[in-house]
Structure 1
Amino acid sequence: MGAPNTTRDTDFAKLWAAASTSLLGDGIRTAALPLLAAALSPTAAAVSIVTFAGTVPILLFTLLGGALADRHDRRNLMWRIDLVRGLLVAAFAVWVLTTAPPLWGLIVMTFLLGSAGAVFDTISGPFIADLVDPDDLAKANGRLQAAQLISFQFLGPPLGAALFALSAGAPLLVDAVTFVAAAGLVFAIRARHAPARAEVNTTIRADIAEGVRWLWRHKGLRLLALELGVANLAVQMALTMLVLLIVNTLHAPAAVYGLVLAIGAVGGMLGGLAGGWVRRHLRLGPGLGLAIGMMAVGLLVAGVAWSIPVVAVGYTVGCFGILLWNVQAVVVRQRLTPRELMGRVTSAYRLVGWGAGPVGAALSGVLGTVLDVRAPIIIGGVVLALSLLLVPRLGALEQA
């Protein structure tokens, strides 16, 4: 039996508060880690390796996270992971505050944090469906997207850059506090949900294989995941070099990098608001095509930019496209996936869609070193433009 509506509303409010708090810390860290990497070793290779270390766990642990999400109480998994992440970041912050850590220390910390995050993110999506009625999923996801925009993209990056200017360890300490606070909020959620699978008589490996097979056989969601993978590869190629384009090539102070990220969040906010209008007035295929097209234009503009304002314009257009995609794609995936498979299918989807991110980060370092820091950004825009060839086939999901 589901929880009463008042309890559901209260529990979702706690989840939203936890997400907003944790996302603020994520935004702070997103600005601080590239700046720290550039301070320790101001090269394309160093920034690329740190980014790769934080994203490659998606390839390694996402499927495991999906299997755990369907076997165990998702709430308990989430608050415990957040608590571990808070302790990890706090320990590294103390290291940074007491001495300059070697680059390898930053790489290891980023990898461990990314590993926990890969499992957590796979669990959190299905947990939303546990707390919210199916008819309210679009509204709930919209509120969480808004939290991501405000906390992660708008408030976090400039705060992270400003804190980094004061002390390299300060943004990490604040990030640690947000993880612990988020853990407490998730722990306070009253509703209890039995594991999605009442009885488990199979191995983790068999569970993972079942989710992968289900996604692979669903042609529409499989194609959606592939398009997301191409987009993430291209966007990660570009974003990895963005800090060097702003700080080294255009000679702007570190705070400007955080400001550009915050300005981009305004574009993302507008994209999120426009998502509802697009869904009402356009079919799914054209709506997703519009999102991909705006991402491509944004990267191309940022890649050839000769000044910070032009970089900010390109980045803002790209963020508009990213959120326009998210608003449309997330609800489609949640609507089409059975609850008993939600964790495993979500993990398989994320592996395909987000697993291309580490590849993009690695390619960015190679291209940035061999060619120029602008090259990965421009090439990313070209790849996105070419991926529009896949979009017409996504329209079939409208009737799925």
Structure 2
Amino acid sequence: MLSLTKPLAPLRHRNYRLLFASYLISMLGDGVWMVALPWVAIELGADNSGLSMVVGAEAVGLISCVLIGGALADRYPRKHVIGWSFAAAFAALATLAVIHVSGQLEIWQLVGAAFVLGAAAAISGPAADAFTPDLVPEDDLHAANALESIVRSLAVRMVGPGIGGLLIALVDSFAIIALNAVSFAVAALCAAAINSRTVAGAQGSGGDGEAEPEGEPVPYRQALRYLFGERWLWVLIVWSGVVLLLQSGPRQVLLPFLIHNDLGGDARDYGLLIAVTGIAAVVSSFLLASRKPPRDYPRRMLLAWTAGAAPLALMVFAPSFWLLLPLGAVYGFFSTAGNVYWSTLVQTSVPSSVRGRVISIDWLGSLALVPVSAALAGIGSSREFMIWLFVLGGTLPVLLTLVTLRWVDLRGLGAKGAQQPETQQTPEHSEPVVPA
């Protein structure tokens, strides 16, 4: 049954409200910065290669630091990891603003700041995802993930870019840099205000339980042993990485050319398609947040991802731009549903002691293959080559899903909760051991 109040249930818990506020503020800043960054670089005289360096530096920061972020999230208090990463982003942007005022701002300084922002996102992201189950009871966890998905869609795809475009027209680049710096400072303060002494565990009461357990961190080799000992976990991470390899290049590189060259569209049409995709993602997240997840949601998750991937095969044959819009809506709706289910599954099925590293490995599997997919999409420019990439990107995920459903048993996942690793004594030393 649909409930209009269920999506807001996680906000009953003070600690989660603070984490959510930091997430919302930083996402809005990211949305503004995504639009403003190219214009700041252009104001500094950047050409195509210079702009590529600036944008690429953020991606390098993400990819190079995401595993570090997972390790930090499992070793240190997660609110500190999140807060200090936001503080580092604030410091980078504040320094950039000071240099801008002095009139000495150069491209290489913008590249450095972009790298720091990417690194900060790589560290705060896995920590925040791993921290959420410690702040809300399991009954509210699904709604929390859906609520965060709504914020991401609105802030990064709609509101943030809209504010960024408006600010570019009204104020100079210094004000935009300073505003983004302030957003990270406020987000860091929100994270710092979380009361660690009342953080509940994954099965806790949403902020009214005992503090996070403190103990010797599980070594990375044992976290990997756990990961590869759980077939469902590593298979689904590989599945999502392969699908991104097949789909991200056609969506990000070839789709604009399809709209421009074959359908006679322009940038406004492409922006409309992105907006429709974002609206569908918001609707999907709201519907999921309004009801409890079904018992077989791990299976539905895989089917939702597949349903979101399949429309790509049809986009290349669309006779008009307007037929792309429902295909984009299907992609936004079902891919978002799969992502929400996946976040809930990992948070409820992976032990807290290794959750940050598992999430960071999942992030790496997603991030590392996106540049490869873009490079593959740029190899050829013929219509036939484009058709092959779109068709393979939409049909191979369906075949992968059929194989995965036969090879991996998803029954019972997500309902049992994460079991904490036991402590095993050895003659030489004592350390937590994650069971394979």
Mapped contact 1:234–1:381 kept (Cα < 8 A): no
The answer on 1:288 being equivalent to 2:288 is no
CA RMSD of aligned residues (A): 4.0
Check the 8 A contact 1:79/1:187 in 2, yes or no.
Answer: yes
Distance 1:307 1:389, change over 3 A: closer
Partners of 1:234 and 1:360 within 8 A in 2: no
- In the superposition, relative to structure 1, how do residues 71 and 138 fare at CA in structure 2: closer, same or farther (>3 Å)? same
Q: Deviations over 1:182-203 (max 9, x none)?
A: 1111111223356655134xxx
Does 2:406 match 1:398? no
Match of residue 392, structure 2, among 382, 385, 397: 382
- Who is 1:337 aligned against? 350
CA contact (8 A) 1:74 1:123 kept: yes
Alpha-carbon offset, residue 223 of structure 1: 1.3
Percent identity between matched residues is 25
The change in CA–CA distance for 1:207 and 1:216 in structure 2 (over 3 A counts) is same
Distance apart, 1:100 and its partner CA: 7.7
Deviation, 1:20, is 1.1
Partner of 1:63: 67
Name the structure 1 match of 2:3.
none
Q: 1:265 aligns with which of 270, 275, 278?
A: 278
Contact kept, 8 Å, 2:31 with 2:156, in 1: the verdict is yes
What SS does the corresponding residue of 2:196 show, helix, strand or coil?
coil
Equivalenced residue count is 384
Of 32, 36, 44 in structure 2, the residue corresponding to residue 32 of structure 1 is 36
* TM-score, normalised via structure 2 length: 0.73
Cα pair distance change 1:157/1:238, threshold 3 Å:
farther
Q: 2:152 aligns with which of 148, 153, 156?
A: 148
Matched with 1:187 is 192
With 62-71 and 255-264 compared, the bigger mean Cα shift is at 255-264
Return the letter of the residue paired with 2:307: G
Residues 1-400 of structure 1 correspond to what in structure 2 (within 5 A)? 9-33=13-37, 50-92=54-96, 98=103, 101-102=106-107, 104-166=108-170, 167-168=172-173, 170-192=175-197, 196-200=213-217, 207-238=219-250, 240-241=252-253, 245=257, 252=266, 260-275=273-288, 280=294, 284-298=298-312, 301=315, 314-352=327-365, 354-356=366-368, 359-365=369-375, 367-368=377-378, 371=381, 379=389, 382-392=392-402, 393-394=404-405, 396-400=409-413
| Structure 1 pair 377–177 and aligned structure 2 pair: CA distance change class (3 A) | farther
Q: Deviations over 1:351-385 (max 9, x none)?
A: 22x233xx323542564375389978983663243
Structure 2: distance between partners of 1:291 and 1:330: 13
Deviates further, 177-186 or 8-17: 8-17
Q: Give 1:10 shift.
A: 1.2
Unaligned runs of 5+ in 1: 201-205
Shift of 1:247: 11
Contact 1:304-1:378 within 8 A present in 2 as well: no
* 1:203 alignment partner in structure 2: none
Letter in 2 for 1:229: G
Q: Which has the larger radius of gyration?
A: 2
- Amino acid of the residue matched to residue 216 of structure 1? F
Deviation at 1:304, TM superposition (A): 6.7
Report the 3-state secondary structure (helix = DSSP H, G, I; strand = E; otherwise coil) of the residue aligned with 1:12: helix
Show CA shifts across 1:161-186 (max 9, x none): 33334445554433222211111111
Structure 2 unaligned spans of 5+: 1-8, 200-210, 414-436
Work out whether residues 142 and 292 of structure 2, in 8 Å CA contact, stay in contact via their aligned partners in 1: no
Structure with higher RCO (Cα < 8 A, 6+ apart): 1
Equivalent position amino acid for 1:147 in 2: V
Residue 121 (structure 1) shift: 0.8
- 3-state secondary structure, aligned to 1:399: coil
Structure with higher helix content: 1
**Displacement after TM superposition at 1:94 (Å):** 5.9
Normalising by structure 1, report the TM-score: 0.79
Quote how far apart the aligned CAs of 1:108 are. Answer: 3.5
Instruction: Tell me the CA shift for residue 217 of structure 1.
Output: 1.4
One-letter identity of the residue aligned with 2:348: R
